A = this chain, B = another copy of it.
Amino acid sequence: MLLEEGIPAYSVYHLDSLLIDTSLLGFDLEKYGHIGFGMEVLRTERDSEDDTWEQPWGEEHYVHNHYNELLVELMQPEYPYRRLNIYFRAYDDGIAFRYEFPRQDDDMDTVVILDEQTQFQLTEDPTVWWTPGDWDIYEHLYNTTKFSKIDALSKQNHPNLAQTYIPQNAVNTPVTMRLQDGVHLTFHEAHLEDYAGMTLAVDNENLLMTSALVGSDRLGYKVKRAIPFETPWRTVQISDDAIGLLNSRMILNLNPPSKIKDLSWFTPMKYAGIWWEMHLDKSTWDMASGRHGATTEHAMELIDFAAANGLKGVLVEGWNTGWEHWIGFEDREGVFDFVTPYADYDLDSVVAYGKSKGVDIIMHHETSAAVRTYDQQLDTAFQLMQSLDLHMVKTGYVGKIIPAGEYHHGQYMVNHYRRVVETAAKYHIAIDAHEPIKDTGERRTWPNFVSREGMRGQEFNAWASDGGNPPEHLPIVAYTRMMAGPFDFTPGVFNLSLKPYKQHNQINTTLAQQLALYVVIYSPVQMACDLPENYAHPAFQFIRDVGVDWEQSIPLNGEVGNWITMAREERGTGNWFVGAITDENARDVQVDFSFLPAGTSFAATVYRDGKTAHYRKDPYSLTIETMTITPETNLTFHLAPGGGLAISLMKETAPE
């Protein structure tokens, strides 16, 4: 709609209720001032689509894409006839809109956006699960407050974060809210390309959110683009209940189809690695300590472990020189070169040994946020991987971005992350980015962006001074961060007490919950992160068995921050897996197996919390039961405080 004075605006209804009240649209531009008033509708165009596309891997094989689109072309009626187009889409699972800066009638061929002025006017004061609108890192715990109580600025200077910058009272996306009538909304964006990440500035009093793009102190603006261009989609996913949010594929649908034709070189996998031991201080990334983790011998041990347990990858961190000059140093450019192994790590032999065992080394490129260095090294680094027939790298961006004045979530970095993934595709390399830009669905376009971090991961449990992730963390993440896309949480800690390595930290889940995470969390790469010696446990069979690529995913029940129960069918096998996790409260979770195909029968193994299980008092108490499960089965399982439930359902191939 256009308000008086020609201001573009929109509102959102869900059934009969007004979800988002009149919200203004527009931009503040350098030189050209505010765009978003005095406009007239030049033309509108309607379009719709209803088709299904195939994911190469994913939480479901075939994605339904069904929307109606309205294009509104706006123009100021007087010179310079400033134009702005807006695409609105209505999906069954939400709404989205994006701006287009079309060619202008004057000499305006570039815009410098000082900020985007997109409003989201709430109509009540919902409960919000939010992290602060940090320009540099997403690794904050979620806060649960009324919208009117959001106070992101109180989250400054977190002692557990290497870098953080929260310039105003804003939240990061995805951010999920529950309205009084139980409707749930997730605000996010899709197809973030050559643009700055969006935070949402919070006006507590007026229940209003306004887009606040991540900026560049170096350049003094938020975004610079040549005309014509389109912004990312601004999205609101809508569901009548919490669990329904997880059925939404709108973010993916808003991205362009894959640009990679041949993806045969990558297969979803579980992996082991030399990583958790560094967080336990058992070994170090650097060699100077005398406790270097990434040695030839140790990597081969991990390969043996992986090969024996069906894990197809081994991540080796700390393999390359430079770790003596990492966190804590300002001058981090030119330190890492991503091709020079430490003296005690024979890269070629390790890779060859892995190949002989059907296990690929997962490369590791810690940039230490020295982005120019990585850009310069990128081809060289990927050429080495190509020469070794390696197809996945975990990248890292710990620390303040170099060049100074840039932030992890600004346009400069958005472009860097995109350049890396596009370059990687040429070399048949998949990217698992840590300290990444948030996922806005570009895995549809670049499926080699297989996973990323972008939330407070397992490693915080090893050393965070706040005691690690509380039990509610993942039952929130499942409805917030996971709305963006796959994430590499690295579950599977069995030595939950972290003894003898850590005296003041422990994992705040039961053992059963660690198993359940392999089903609850979607990622085509899932780490079994604990030390191999801790997997001498019957429950490890679940990790061996569990799938990483899914024909379909069926969220069964849950409430944000309380619990979630998820069922997923493995692609290609017909096996199913069920995972449930709860927060600090025990609860009974019902699993109605009617989602199984009629007439089938499954040899099920149930991994559930034992009688005395409790995330703090007795995290190891676990009961494993084998049973036959059919679509007629309907069971209630008890989850302990901080507990979980994991069920493997192996299709019975031969009739009994």
Residues of A whose CB lies within 8 Å of any CB of B are 304-305, 307-309, 497, 499-500, 511, 536-542, 544-545, 603, 605, 607, 610, 612, 618, 620-628, 654, 656
Contact = CB atoms under 8 A, between A and B. Distances in A.
16 contacts: A305-B308, A307-B308, A308-B309, A497-B656, A537-B541, A537-B605, A538-B538, A538-B539, A538-B540, A538-B541, A541-B541, A610-B627, A618-B628, A620-B626, A621-B627, A623-B623
Nearest to A603: B620
B627 A624 contact: no
A605 B538 contact: yes
A539 B538 CA distance: 6
Given A308-B308, A610-B626, 10 more contacts: A308-B309, A497-B656, A536-B545, A538-B540, A538-B624, A541-B541, A603-B620, A612-B627, A621-B625, A623-B625
Given A538-B538, A538-B605, A610 B622 contact: no
With most chain B CB atoms within 10 A of its CB, the pick from A511, A545, A612, A622 is: A622
A513 to B, nearest CB: 14
A574 B638 CA distance: 34
Contacts of A511: 626
Nearest to A357: B304
Contacts of A603: 620
Contacts of A544: 536
Contacts of A539: 538
Contacts of A654: 499-500
Closest 9 CB pairs of A and B: A308-B308, A624-B624, A538-B538, A538-B541, A622-B626, A623-B625, A538-B624, A499-B654, A620-B626
Given A622-B625, A625-B610, A541 B536 contact: yes
Nearest to A650: B536
A133 B509 CA distance: 61
A423 to B, nearest CB: 37
Contacts of A499: 654
A308 B605 CA distance: 22
Contacts of A620: 603, 626
Contacts of A537: 541, 605
Contacts of A626: 511, 610, 620-623
Nearest to A622: B626
Contacts of A305: 308
Contacts of A541: 536-538, 540-541
A605 B622 CA distance: 9
Nearest to A653: B500
A7 to B, nearest CB: 63
A537 to B, nearest CB: 6
Contacts of A623: 623-626
